[in-house]
Amino acid sequence: MAIFAILLLYGVIAFSAMYFFSNNQVKVYPNGLGQESPMALHVVGNRVVTGEGVDLILHGVDYTYFIDDPYGSWMLPSGDIEYSVWDTTALAANLDAIKSWGFNSIRILATTQWWAQNSGDFQSHLEYFIKEAASRKIYVDFTFWRNNGLEGQPSLPYPPYDDGNGVIKSENAFVNLWASVSVALKSYSNVLFELWNEPNGDKEAQNSWFNVTQKCIDAIRDTGASNIIVLQWDYNTYLDFRNYSELSDSYDSKFSEMSTSLHDSRNNIIYSTHLYSTGFYDSSNGYSLKYSYSDMLWALGVTGLLSFSSKYPVWIGEIGCSLWASNINDEYAWYNNTLSILNQNDIGYCGWAWAPWSTGTQWELVTRQSNYVPSEAGKILQQRICG
């Protein structure tokens, strides 16, 4: 009886503790299983932490093959490109290759028409891609690049900046689009939501975008989604080495405006920018630089990127190496040194881009040789991720 009484008392205490914590530490589990997924990501200070409490730096690759059609295109192990075909075998081969390179994330760029109209069963295709990525412990950052298959990339995805061509007819239509994406994908804890690729424009456009962004954040959270939201303003981070003292629009100011103007009830925001060598130049020297390590360390400091990253989580959504550069060795030096600096500051990045569109493409990370052989830029990226 004494043992039974002790066990009964222990059970009461345990139940009371469960009741107390369940009613005072309410947690929404994205996988719906009553426990948090190990892949769920949370922002803690300037760090990104997994559901297991492990710090994670997102090292990824940009995948552009969902822009032109809802089926995706795939680089086959043979080196050939298979265009506009939903091919799960080819999908698996690409994901396996991406994982073998050391990437833990993929940034997918898509067209809003495919989602809004579910063209070619795009929504199911995307969910399948996400599930397959999750099975390989790969995160997927999902963003939109244009509104429909007939246009280029507009600065902002709604009128008057883009007429939408029947897809996005208003600011509210874009907000509702993201609410629908959130409802469908919030259960996938390996998904990050990035509202638009390279939103840009004048001050009026910026104010408009911040207003719409806040509405999107609120709409996403209203669906119960806890996924990280990735925010960007403007094309990239840039610096004129000659006129740096006159720099009035540093990226630090852009980040700071986002961090002070936009609010997330879950405090689960990552700030993003893009980096390309063409954004760093010397107007007094024929726009030519050697891009040494010390030059780029100084430049990234002047822009405010490094100081901001010490306070908030920063992710470089695109960083590319132009294989058409007039002095390719300088381009490789810029790429290698900039990636090294990002590593030393625990800033994640996403390499532009996976698989060539055609032979000799400017930004390719992988060649047309069989079994996904990296280009010289791809080799640099692999080395920096691993070391």
CA 66 from centre of chain: 15
Residue type at 195?
L
DSSP secondary structure letters along 253-274: HHHHHHHHH---TT--EEEEEE
Structure tokens at 139: 């995160």
Phi–psi pair at 131, nearest 5 degrees:
-65, -45
What is the C-alpha separation between 302 and 241, in angstroms, rounded?
10
pLDDT of residue 37: 86
Please give the model's pTM, rounded to 2 decimal places. Answer: 0.89
Whole-angstrom CA distances from 43 to 114, 200, 269, 346 are: 30, 26, 7, 14
Residue 208: other Cβ atoms inside 10 A: 18
Structure tokens at 140: 């997927």
Contact 168, 205 (CB under 8 A): no
The sign of the CA dihedral 52, 350, 144, 119 is negative
pLDDT of residue 322: 82
pLDDT of residue 6: 36
Contacts of residues 325-329 at CB distance under 8 Å and 24 or more positions apart, as own/partner, are: 325/277, 327/288
Whole-angstrom CA distances from 5 to 8, 17, 110, 220 are: 5, 18, 62, 49
CA 31 from centre of chain: 21
Q: Is 343 exposed, middle or buried (0-12, 13-18, 19+ CB in 10 A)?
A: middle
Continuous segment of H or E residues that includes residue 90: helix 88-100
pLDDT of residue 15: 34
Contacts of residues 362-366 at CB distance under 8 Å and 24 or more positions apart, as own/partner, are: 362/322, 362/323, 362/324, 363/320, 363/321, 363/322, 363/323, 364/323, 365/61, 366/75, 366/97
Q: What angle do CA 264, 235, 144 make, to 5 degrees?
A: 60
What is the C-alpha separation between 144 and 198, in angstroms, rounded?
10
pLDDT of residue 358: 52
What is the C-alpha separation between 133 and 75, in angstroms, rounded?
17
pLDDT of residue 256: 81
pLDDT tens, the chain, 387 aa long: 444 333 333 343 333 333 322 333 333 334 333 346 899 999 999 999 999 999 999 999 999 999 999 999 999 999 999 999 999 999 999 999 999 999 999 999 999 999 999 999 999 999 999 999 999 999 999 999 999 998 889 999 999 999 877 899 999 999 999 999 999 999 999 999 999 999 999 999 999 999 999 999 999 999 999 999 999 999 998 888 877 664 444 555 678 888 999 999 999 999 999 999 988 888 887 666 778 999 999 999 988 899 999 999 999 999 998 877 788 888 999 999 999 999 999 999 999 999 766 555 567 899 889 999 999 999 999 999 976
Residue 125: other Cβ atoms inside 10 A: 20
The residues, any chain, with a CB within 8 Å of residue 383's CB and separated by 6 or more, are none
What is the C-alpha separation between 348 and 342, in angstroms, rounded?
7
The residues, any chain, with a CB within 8 Å of residue 331's CB and separated by 6 or more, are 277, 291, 321, 322, 323, 325
What is the C-alpha separation between 179 and 225, in angstroms, rounded?
10
The residues, any chain, with a CB within 8 Å of residue 185's CB and separated by 6 or more, are 126, 127, 130, 142, 191, 193, 225, 227
What is the C-alpha separation between 305 and 62, in angstroms, rounded?
21
What residue ranges define each of the domains in the chain, with the CATH number in brackets?
A: 61-386 (3.20.20.80)
Contact 81, 32 (CB under 8 A): no
Contact 282, 290 (CB under 8 A): no
Structure tokens at 50: 């997994």
pLDDT of residue 36: 66
